Amino acid sequence: MKDPRRSALSLVRPHLLDLAPYEAVDPPEVLAARAGIPESAVVKLNANENPYGPSPKVAEALAHLGRAHIYPDPRQTAMREAVGAHVGLDPSHIVVGNGSDEVIDLLFRAVLGPGDAIIDSVPTFGMYSFVAHVCGGRTVAVERESSFGVDVERVLSTAKSEGAKVLVIASPNNPTGNATPLADVERLLAAGCLVIVDEAYHEFGGATAAELVPVHPNLAVLRTMSKWAGLAGLRVGYGLMAPELADLLLRAKPPYNVSQAAEAALLASLADADTLHERAGWLIDERSRMAGFMSAMDGVTLWPSDANFILCQVGEGRGAAVYDSLARQGVFVRYFRGGRLADFLRISVGRPEETDRFIEAFTVALRD
């Protein structure tokens, strides 16, 4: 007779047993301990967070939050109306998530069955392949072109040969910073797959596919409030899609997926969009200033960016050493340890004083 006391993992779906965690960034206190410095001395340029934080109206809204003891609206009525007014779409096109990561998860779970393929234009945001794995799907990677543009012809042919259900494109792309032209998005839509365009960095200069949503039922456009609105710690984002797909996700999502605090922050942010756009302008200007310093450095190659970060390449075999030197100096950037990006660093745009600290430390790191 079998022992009923089975291992918990023996009950888990087999494809999850080899799941590697998403490589998230450490919080400031961990980075400070690693560098042996006070947390206040950390220059954190590794997660594309907004250094100016939320709109002042968010702090006011949270300070007067009177509904923390009440479940949020499962239909997200106020948020969907506010987002609709902000993007110029009817609220029926909109789903709000616990970060845009949750909207990715909801879309993938709605579409992918066991073994179904997504086409991922790499290098790109690691969440797409991670969520596909969790859902039991498979990721088919198609390398981007030498300039990191989407190889549209290869994506289309691969989608056809693999019978793909989903094409996902980050635009501007993370970590390369380049936007995908609208004409390329329209060509990808002809594949008949669900095309997801992740516009997390749209407000920093990228083109948008939002205007295509009403006429292409197989298109979903994602936005986040983490970057432009400075709400990374509150977790709120949204998706724009066909009303029938939005209705399905609203039925399939956890009923109270966005907290009262996150809802209040989103509404206050959209009511103060002019302030947030002004701050985005500051970051765009600082991106140009930082790029000017870096472009004058020997052995450094920069890639054009429409986002709130810059991707740079250092000398062959030097990526790890430069990253480690920066970390020892209390400056933390994103390093890609292998493959095509082995000698690349992604540096988030910070305040001017953070740029100055980075440039000083980067100069030292390049000499080490």
Closest CA to 335 of 351, 348, 354: 348
Domain boundary among 271, 306, 327: 271
Give the CATH number for residue 60: 3.40.640.10
Does 175 share its domain with 293?
no
Q: How confident is the model at residue 3 (pLDDT cuts 50, 70, 90)?
A: low
Is residue 2 in some structural domain?
A: no
Average pLDDT over residues 170-175: 98
pLDDT over 70, % of the chain: 98
> pLDDT tens digit string along 158-168?
999 999 999 99
Is residue 1 in some structural domain?
A: no
Does 334 share its domain with 188?
no
Closest CA to 344 of 296, 302, 309: 302
Does 237 share its domain with 299?
no
Does 235 share its domain with 149?
yes
> pLDDT tens digit string along 38-52?
999 999 999 999 999
Please tell me the predicted confidence (pLDDT) of residue 24.
87
Q: How far apart are CA 173 and CA 80, in angstroms?
A: 26
Strand order in the sheet with 138-143: 94-97, 237-240, 219-224, 194-198, 166-170, 117-122, 138-143
Does 322 share its domain with 261?
no
Domain boundary among 238, 254, 271: 271
Q: How far apart are CA 307 and CA 339, in angstroms?
A: 23
3-state helix, strand, coil in the chain (%, to 5): 45, 15, 40
Does 170 share its domain with 316?
no
Is residue 351 in some structural domain?
A: yes
- Does residue 1 surpass a pLDDT of 60? no
> pLDDT tens digit string along 84-111?
999 999 999 999 999 999 999 999 999 9
**DSSP H or E stretch at residue 344:** strand 344-348
Mean confidence (pLDDT) of the chain: 96
Coil, strand or helix at 301:
strand
Domain boundary among 228, 244, 271: 271
Please tell me the predicted confidence (pLDDT) of residue 283.
98
Closest CA to 119 of 171, 180, 162, 172: 162
Please tell me the predicted confidence (pLDDT) of residue 2.
62
- Does residue 5 surpass a pLDDT of 70? no
Give the CATH number for residue 32: 3.90.1150.10
Does 214 share its domain with 237?
yes
Q: CA triplet 113, 213, 125: central angle to 5 degrees? A: 55
Domain count, the chain: 2
Alpha carbon distances (Å) from 212 to 121, 207, 221: 21, 12, 9
* Burial class of residue 214 (count of CB atoms within 10 Å of its CB; 0-12, 13-18, 19+): middle
> pLDDT tens digit string along 133-148?
999 999 999 999 999 9
Amino acid at residue number 61? A
Q: How confident is the model at residue 19 (pLDDT cuts 50, 70, 90)?
A: very high
Q: How far apart are CA 75 and CA 253, in angstroms?
A: 10
Domain containing 212 equals: 56-271
Is residue 88 in some structural domain?
A: yes
Q: How far apart are CA 123 and CA 184, in angstroms?
A: 18
Is residue 111 in some structural domain?
A: yes
Does 256 share its domain with 302?
no
Is residue 3 in some structural domain?
A: no
Average pLDDT over residues 17-35: 90
